[in-house]
């Protein structure tokens, strides 16, 4: 499959680093590595830039001058859409169905800093889909009245075009793993809107990669998600004419580590974040990567991941989430003993 066409290349030619985690590996008895997609080059970095390379190409081909995307108030995807819009001189609005978080911090602050508008519409209890549809229609109308051409990007950049970014990443990771003697490794990613997982799955399978793939769901994997993962895969395969077959059973998604909700404060997740920080000085976030790593630690503890296994953690970014109020207050209480104030 031709994966290098039809993208605006802003990640550069060098792959993101694949690094060993020696202190954590020693502590856990597992060979741990990390793929640094948090270090993609602008807007604070993260997995969404890979998707946006392909989405931006499509947007430009359609003559777009304004991007609209959707998510929660702390969407990392929204922040990186704002970043791309800033770099390519486009307008950008992020539409959120959420309660006002009480302060403009973390991703919300960064959105404004990069010139994007954010519309936070209070959840009125109807389905998210209809609320997003109405709010997006209003922003679209406003832009069109001003003479802009709008390109809409779905939540998380997770459609077939966005997933191409992680198809390509699968090729990149396979090559790096081969060079580092990690052909028998398992790649583990957080799973939200699923574009990262589906892109990786299709890339690994279609390019006959020896790597194993596990996704860890960061929110309850309800019936809608169960159906969506299969339909997303089928849509991707049909769009790009891949000779792949898969049923739900082929997608290894760990659904037992979501801790009951999306982006909820959780002590086990915070402890996992502290462990990564104290041992390797790498910053995980409470919503995605910290939750994924908390799941990995429990899988090691329970023997689901066995001693001596080779594991590649995909660092998908998200560090601004550390500064979200409802996470930050918990961490302040737990970490204040590190701070000494001398008057």
Ligand X SMILES: Cc1ncc(COP(=O)(O)O)c(C=O)c1O
Binding site for ligand X (CB under 6 A): 46-47, 76-77, 156, 158, 190-197, 285, 288-289, 316-318
Helices 195-206 and 160-179: crossing angle, nearest 10°? 50
Asked whether 195 and 235 are in contact (CB, 8 A), the reply is no
Q: How far is the CB of 257 from ligand X (least distance, A)?
A: 14
Q: How far is the CB of 96 from ligand X (least distance, A)?
A: 13
Q: How far is the CB of 63 from ligand X (least distance, A)?
A: 27
> Which residue number is nearest to ligand X in terms of Cβ?
318
Output 96 or 143, the one with its CB closest to ligand X.
96
Asked whether 215 and 191 are in contact (CB, 8 A), the reply is yes
Output 46 or 139, the one with its CB closest to ligand X.
46
Torsions phi, psi for 162 (to 5 deg):
-60, -40
Output 131 or 289, the one with its CB closest to ligand X.
289
**CA nearest neighbour of 284 among 46, 70, 48, 111:** 46
Q: How far is the CB of 340 from ligand X (least distance, A)?
A: 32
Output 90 or 169, the one with its CB closest to ligand X.
169
Tokens read off for 116: 């994007």
Output 65 or 290, the one with its CB closest to ligand X.
290
Contacts of 56 (CB under 8 A, 6+ apart): 7, 8, 10, 84, 88
Tokens read off for 127: 């389905």
Quick one: residue 313, left, alpha or beta (phi over 0 = left, psi -120 to 50 = alpha)?
beta
For 304, which DSSP code? S
Helix (H, G, I), strand (E, B) or coil at 2: coil
Tokens read off for 84: 């791309």
Output 93 or 158, the one with its CB closest to ligand X.
158
Q: How far is the CB of 135 from ligand X (least distance, A)?
A: 19
Q: How far is the CB of 228 from ligand X (least distance, A)?
A: 11
Output 107 or 275, the one with its CB closest to ligand X.
107
Q: How far is the CB of 336 from ligand X (least distance, A)?
A: 26
- Strand pairing class (18-20; 31-36): antiparallel
Distance CA 189, CA 195 (A): 11
């Amino acid at each position: 499959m031709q994966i290098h066409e039809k993208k605006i290349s802003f990640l550069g030619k060098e792959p993101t680093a694949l690094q060993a985690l020696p202190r954590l590996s020693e502590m856990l008895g597992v060979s741990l590595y990390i793929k640094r997609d948090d270090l993609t080059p602008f807007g604070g970095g993260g997995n969404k830039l890979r998707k946006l390379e392909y989405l931006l190409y499509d947007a430009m081909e359609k003559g777009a001058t304004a991007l609209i995307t959707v998510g929660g108030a702390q969407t990392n995807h929204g922040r990186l859409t704002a970043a791309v819009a800033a770099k390519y001189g486009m307008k950008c609005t992020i539409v959120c169905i959420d309660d006002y978080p009480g302060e403009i911090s973390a991703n919300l602050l960064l959105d404004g800093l990069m010139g994007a508008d954010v519309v936070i519409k209070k959840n009125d209890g109807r389905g998210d889909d209809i609320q997003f549809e109405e709010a997006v229609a209003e922003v679209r109308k406003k832009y069109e009245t001003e003479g802009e051409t709008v390109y809409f990007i779905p939540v998380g950049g997770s459609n077939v075009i966005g997933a191409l970014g992680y198809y390509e990443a699968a090729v990149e990771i396979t090559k790096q793993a081969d060079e580092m003697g990690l052909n028998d490794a398992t790649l583990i990613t957080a799973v939200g809107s699923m574009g990262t997982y589906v892109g990786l799955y299709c890339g690994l399978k279609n390019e006959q990669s020896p790597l194993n793939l596990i996704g860890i769901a960061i929110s309850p994997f309800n019936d809608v998600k169960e159906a969506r993962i299969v339909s997303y895969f089928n849509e991707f395969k049909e769009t790009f004419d891949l000779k792949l077959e898969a049923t739900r059973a082929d997608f290894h998604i760990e659904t037992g580590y979501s801790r009951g909700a999306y982006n909820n404060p959780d002590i086990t997740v915070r402890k996992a974040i502290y462990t990564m920080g104290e041992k390797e000085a790498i910053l995980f976030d409470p919503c995605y990567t910290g939750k994924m790593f908390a799941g990995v630690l429990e899988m090691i503890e329970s023997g689901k991941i066995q001693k001596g296994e080779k594991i590649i953690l995909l660092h998908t970014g998200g560090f601004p989430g550390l500064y979200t109020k409802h996470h930050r207050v918990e961490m302040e209480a737990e970490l204040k003993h590190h701070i000494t104030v001398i008057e």
